[in-house]
Amino acid sequence: MRGAGGCQVADVSEGSTDGGSPPRPGSATSESPDPDVLAHLPDGIVIVDADCRVQWANDLFRTWCERSLTAGSGPAPQCDFFTVLDAAEVMAGEVEGFRAAVRAGRQGRLLVRTGGNRYFDAQSSAAFASAAIPGAVVVVAIRDVTHTILEQQKRAAIHAAGQSLADLSPAELADMTVDERIELLKSNILHYSKDLLQFDVVEIRLLDRQTGRLEPLLAEGMQPEAEARLLYARPEHNGVTGYVAATGHSYFCSDTTKDPLYLEGCKGAKSSLTVPLMLHDQVIGTFNVESPEPGGFTQTDLQFLEIFSRDVAAALNTLELLVAEKASTAAESIEAIHGAVALPVDDILNDACSVMERYIGHDADVVERLQRILRNARDIKQVIHRVGEQMTPSSAHTQRRQGERRRALAGRRILVVDADEQVRVAAHALLERSGCTVETARDAAEAASLVRAGGADAYDVIISDIRLPDMSGYQLLLKLQEILDVVPLVLMTGFGYDPGHSIVKARQAGIDLVLFKPFRVDQLLDTVEKAIARRATAAAPNA
């Protein structure tokens, strides 16, 4: 703070005047403040008159001024309190309101920022009379709150920065790929970690809940071998990072050379600070920073990092939700496209197989063309499937979707035979969602043609209604036994309706897998898995 040009305020250490003359303002008398007491007060103390002119100030207040306020040989010049304080900006309250409170002898309060970017909280007392100073005077206590205000401002800045991490406009989101969004988020995290938090060495890992592994998201200043290190969310043998992920508690490592949990990350690091990334009270990862100095982090650093980490976790969740939304939209679009073309493609397959059977042995060129139609029709389904996978860009979301799939069903070819179009459509939707390739036929003749065209390995499972337009399910079994050594047949019936006793006859022939409509998805998948397992067992002796 700067005093007004040459302004002086009396020192409490001055002696009394000669004889019985009245004491000089600011001189040490019995009425003056005790200098020993005032020297140890944690606040600056100023005595002002009704016009806010400084009459006296203690040592602490004077040390806050760039120009010393020392006593002169005569009475202290009348210095305006706000000029001495160098109030550059009022943060709370009003200057005129404070002056009015002093004039009226009431308590007043003001928060100001000075030209030296320091913050002071000034609080005035009620007016009182002093024998040392003519007229009514007011005591103003000034406290240096710079540290508190700067911390508050930094907290607010950290929170604002954290909220802006994934704050993108719809137009920006539309123009960015998922990878670009992830890279932008990582760039923003590093930027704020360095410029705002003053952390130069940063590592963030995300928890894979299925495996318990802590997968690296970003690292700055870490050794390559530390970045590549396999870590799990376990309290032992996985460093500080594993401990924090397992317990959900922040961890100070004040001396890396003596801490049994610490695993070297940054070369030469002497201390580290690790906090959990928390979302809805669940640990989703860890945020680690390191310093080359022992004890390089304070409790304030911990508070700042925990604030920022909460926003980082929220930003990561927002990004994942955006990716999941895009993935779901893509999946729905692909399913809608596939749903629209699945049955028409099946019709092409069936018609091509039917025509091809008529031309076999008569016109080789026509048969070759029909076989090409078959291949192209099946390729259409595969292309749609591959495009759908490419449009589902989030690794986490893809893992979730694949987690719903059953390994035994992935890549299996299923033939569904039913005259009901809704059943054929549902078969495509339910089974292909689990990774199967599905083809459908409307009757036994189409089914037999597809099997003959594809050969013994054409289908892993054949699901047929027991009552087809041209024959029963048992009759289809007999027809397929003429083509295949092992018939992986599953029969379907509605509410146990079996007028031709197809189920009983099929069971006598060794086919006992039956689906009763309507069935749940898990029942369908379980039955298909059993059929696949039995076919593999039956084929094993012939392998």
DSSP letters, 226-292, are HHT---BS-SSSSHHHHHHHHH---EEES-TTT-TT----STT--EEEEEEEEETTEEEEEEEEEES
Contact 274, 222 (CB under 8 A): no
Q: Which of 244, 240, 238, 230 is nearest to 309 (CA)?
A: 244
Q: What is the mean pLDDT of the chain?
A: 79
Secondary structure of 150-218 as H, E, C letters: HHHHHHHHHHHHHHCCCCCCHHHHHHCCHHHHHHHHHHHHHHHHHHCCCCCEEEEEEECCCCCEEEEEE
Interatomic CA distance for residues 502 and 491, integer angstroms:
9
Q: What are phi and psi of 203, to 5 degrees?
A: -145, 130
d(CA 427, CA 414): 9
CA 92 to chain CA mean position, Å: 37
Residue 308, class by beta-carbon neighbours within 10 Å (0-12 exposed, 13-18 middle, 19+ buried)? buried
Q: What confidence score (pLDDT) does residue 214 get?
A: 94
User: Can you tell me the distance from the alpha carbon of 477 to that of 505, in angstroms, rounded to the nearest whole number?
Assistant: 10
Alpha-carbon span 125 to 109, nearest angstrom: 9
Distance (Å, rounded) from C-alpha 87 to C-alpha 101?
A: 18
Specify burial of residue 331 (Cβ count, 10 A radius: 0-12, 13-18, 19+).
middle
Per residue in 315-325, pLDDT tens?
Answer: 877 766 555 54
DSSP 470: S
- What confidence score (pLDDT) does residue 362 get? 66
Q: What is the pLDDT of residue 155?
A: 79
Q: Report CA-CA distances (Å) from 22 to 73, 74, 79, 83.
A: 15, 13, 22, 29
Going by C-alpha positions, the residue among 470, 474, 425, 481 that lies closest to residue 446 is: 470
Residue type, 307: I
What would the two tokens of residue 412 be?
Answer: 């299996």
Whether 220 and 202 have beta carbons less than 8 Å apart is answered as: yes
8 Å CB contact between 353 and 378: no
Peptide bond connecting 518 to the previous residue in cis, omega within 30 degrees of 0: yes
By the 10 Å C-beta count (0-12 exposed, 13-18 middle, 19+ buried), 166 is classed as: buried
The number of CA neighbours under 13 Å toward the Cβ of 510 is: 10
| pLDDT score for 246 | 96
Domains belonging to the chain, first-starting first, are 35-144 (3.30.450.20), 172-322 (3.30.450.40), 405-543 (3.40.50.2300)
Element housing 471 (H / E): none
Confirm if 70 and 8 have CB atoms less than 8 A apart.
Answer: yes
pLDDT the model gives residue 276: 96
β-strand 87-92 against 79-80: which pairing, if any?
unpaired
* pLDDT (0 to 100) of residue 263: 94
Specify the 3-state DSSP secondary structure of 416.
Answer: strand
Q: How does pLDDT run across 180-195, given as a tens digit for each residue?
A: 777 877 888 888 888 8
Strands (E), 25-70: 44-49, 53-57
Intervals of the chain under pLDDT 70: 1-40, 66-78, 130-134, 166-178, 319-339, 360-362, 384-405, 495-500, 539-543
pLDDT score, position 249? 95
Q: Tokens for 65? A: 């001024």
Residue 433's pLDDT is 80
Q: Which residues pair with 516 in a beta bridge?
A: 493
Virtual CA dihedral for 407, 410, 415, 419, nearest 10 degrees? 80
Inter-residue contact 305 to 197 (CB < 8 Å): yes
How many CB atoms neighbour CB 172 within 10 A?
Answer: 12
In sequence order, what are the residues at sequence separation of 6 or more whose Cβ sits closer than 8 angstroms to the Cβ of residue 109? 92, 93, 98, 121, 122, 123, 124
192-195: long-range pairs with CB below 8 Å, 24+: 192/158, 192/161, 192/162, 192/165, 192/308, 193/220, 193/289, 193/308, 194/220
Closest CA relative to residue 348, chosen from 387, 385, 382, 376: 376
